[in-house]
Amino acid sequence: EPEVTQTPSHQVTQMGQEVILRCVPISNHLYFYWYRQILGQKVEFLVSFYNNEISEKSEIFDDQFSVERPDGSNFTLKIRSTKLEDSAMYFCASSESSGGYEQYFGPGTRLTVT
């Protein structure tokens, strides 16, 4: 069964460093998303991406964040200058279409900022 994959599974970085989280969505999917989950809190939407551009972003997704689909398979989330409060589990998701279509989630990348 096709699945969303994410690398790395765990990343430790120092405050102020740049990190890139990588995702490979399901191949025929057209809509891509990033969510994050701070330990003990709910899953929060960061950004959605369709047709090579951002469709919607949350207030969390400020100028420190960017997304890119550099080729036909990868979808990346970049944090330019990490803060302690960026420590969280980051989930990538993809869906075949929008609306009531299921979003398939990857296993997540745990980001720890020290």
Partner 1 sequence: AQSVTQLGSHVSVSEGALVLLRCNYSSSVPPYLFWYVQYPNQGLQLLLKYTSAATLVKGINGFEAEFKKSETSFHLTKPSAHMSDAAEYFCAVSEGGTASKLTFGTGTRLQVTL
Among positions 50, 60, 65, 66, the unique one binding partner 1 when judged by CB under 8 A: 50
Q: How far is CA 79 from CA 17, 27, 40, in A?
A: 8, 25, 22
Q: Which residues of 73-111 are buried (b: 16+ CB within 10 A; e: fewer)?
A: eebebebeebeeebbbbbbbbbbeeeeeeebbbbebbbb
Q: Identify which of residues 72 and 100 has a Cβ nearer to partner 1 in the complex.
A: 100
Per CB under 8 A, 107 contacts partner 1 = yes
Q: Identify which of residues 14 and 52 has a Cβ nearer to partner 1 in the complex.
A: 52
Per CB under 8 A, 65 contacts partner 1 = no
Among positions 21, 29, 108, 111, the unique one binding partner 1 when judged by CB under 8 A: 108
Per CB under 8 A, 59 contacts partner 1 = no
Window of 15-23, 33-41, 63-71, 72-80 that interacts with partner 1 by CB under 8 A: 33-41
Contact 84, 28 (CB under 8 A): no
Among positions 25, 48, 61, 88, the unique one binding partner 1 when judged by CB under 8 A: 48
Window of 12-20, 62-70, 77-85, 103-111 that interacts with partner 1 by CB under 8 A: 103-111
